[in-house]
Amino acid sequence: MKFKTEVKKLKRILPFLARVSSSSVTMPILSNIHLKVKENKFILSATNLEIGIEVKLNVENVEKEGEIAIPGKIFSDFISLLPEKEVYLEEKEKSLTLKCEGFETKILGQDPKEFPPLPSIEGIKKATLDASELTKGISKVAHIVSPKDSRIEISGIYFEVLKNEVKLVGTDSIRLAQAICSAYDTNLDKPKSGIVPLSAFVNANHIFGGIEGDVEIFLSPNQISFKSISSELEITLLSRLIEGKFPEYEEVIPRELNFKAILNREEFIQKIKAVSLFSSKIQDIKISPKPDQGKIILFSESTEKGAAQSEVYGKIEGKEIVAVFNFKFLLDGLSPIKSEEIVFGLTSANSPALIKPLDKEDYLYILMPKSL
């Protein structure tokens, strides 16, 4: 391997690869990034066996093809300190020499044949969507999922490809968030779904968050991949799917609301924050609707701090259903919404509350109340 490339391109992609490469006592090779040059392509890959990333960079003036596996962290850290000039890379006898305007180093590597190959599932593309659409959807649901949950089926994000849309759902059994992303070029005879590890979507957010253009989605019975292609590079994120059956979440989404309020989102958030300052250690606030007065009353108290009450006016209709909620979970449901007005509704004091934007159907949030 003997060629040169631009430092700024490597600075852009190496943090993604280094984040995935992991220390492993049983498989030390996983702490490495696999480098390969072939036919004017510089191919970098990393994996922790759960997820993998492959990046293909266009390069010119390749003097010699070849491959090597080198420690991911030290490679990424060293490149981050270089000036944004050209860097010259040469592999020889299981080491990689790098030269760049005033810098020169030799990084010891390992046999590239020990590096596990990444699977390919490109033959079964299911959908294409805008990168920003995907990352916005991930941000709306990922924050409520716990990857350490003992219930493996809810430790990831439920992912479903439908006609012209992709649905993402996350839950921790107390609350649930659903985001719908517009898609096109769907290739399926019926909806396809799976449970994707949270770490895969967290990495997808990092990778595709700064990319303009489309992301192609490929789905097989036990794997999923996301690919973005531009004139300069191609990035593919692969992940295994979590085995198990995701809960029948649609059954808990309220279909008929006995109490419904249309409120200004920003005012509702500020009033919740103000009242929450006086909540008890269990972080609870009570919400009492007053439909005849066109308002809801927020109340909290604690023996240590005192009590607080606030009123939020809006379009209020239905029954006076009083319920108690964890204020942090309420704010988690409101924060992803960008619309000026939101819908907040209940069927009963013991059933889940519904929060969604008034003018869009691309997001909803379900939250169980606390016992009165």
Please check whether residues 292 and 320 belong to one and the same domain. yes
Strands (DSSP E) contained in 230-302 are 233-240, 259-264, 284-290, 295-302
Domain count, the chain: 3
Which pLDDT value is given to residue 281?
82
- 372, part of any domain: no
Please check whether residues 170 and 76 belong to one and the same domain. no
Please check whether residues 136 and 82 belong to one and the same domain. no
The answer for residues whose C-beta is within 8 angstroms of residue 249's C-beta and 6 or more apart is 158, 169, 171, 176, 178
Please check whether residues 246 and 258 belong to one and the same domain. no
Both structure tokens of 61? 């003036």
In three-state secondary structure terms, 158 is strand
- 142, part of any domain: yes
Please check whether residues 354 and 246 belong to one and the same domain. no
- 358, part of any domain: yes
- 317, part of any domain: yes
Cβ atoms of 364 and 177 within 8 Å: the answer is yes
Please check whether residues 149 and 202 belong to one and the same domain. yes
- What CATH code is carried by the domain that includes residue 289? 3.10.150.10
Please check whether residues 262 and 225 belong to one and the same domain. no
> What is the pTM (predicted TM-score) of this model?
0.91
Please check whether residues 234 and 171 belong to one and the same domain. yes
Which pLDDT value is given to residue 23?
67
Please check whether residues 244 and 336 belong to one and the same domain. no
Domain edge (last residue) among 250, 269, 292: 250
Q: What is the DSSP letter of 350?
A: T
Taking each helix axis from N to C end, the angle separating 198-208 and 131-141, rounded to the nearest 10 degrees, works out to 140
**CA–CA gap between residue 252 and residue 246 (Å, rounded):** 13
Alpha helices in the chain (DSSP H): 7-20, 72-80, 131-141, 198-208, 265-276, 327-334
| Counts of helices then strands in the chain (DSSP H, E) | 6, 25
Per-residue pLDDT of the chain (372 residues; tens, 9 = 90+): 999 999 999 999 999 999 998 766 578 899 999 999 999 999 999 999 999 999 999 998 899 999 999 999 999 999 999 999 999 999 998 999 999 999 999 999 999 999 999 987 755 768 899 999 999 999 999 999 988 878 999 999 999 998 889 999 999 999 999 999 999 877 777 788 999 999 999 999 999 997 888 999 988 888 999 999 787 889 999 999 999 999 999 999 998 999 999 999 999 999 999 999 999 888 899 999 999 999 999 999 998 899 999 999 999 999 999 999 999 999 999 999 999 999 999 999 999 999 999 999 999 999 999 976
Domain edge (last residue) among 65, 84, 114: 114
Residue 234: C-alpha distances to residues 21, 53, 80, 113 (Å): 19, 11, 21, 23
Which pLDDT value is given to residue 189?
73
Per-residue b/e over 139-171, b at no fewer than 16 CB within 10 Å? bbbbebbeeeeeeeebbbbbbbbbeebbbbbbb
Please check whether residues 26 and 100 belong to one and the same domain. yes
- 242, part of any domain: yes
Domain edge (last residue) among 222, 250, 278: 250
Cβ atoms of 260 and 318 within 8 Å: the answer is yes
- Domain of residue 345 covers 254-367
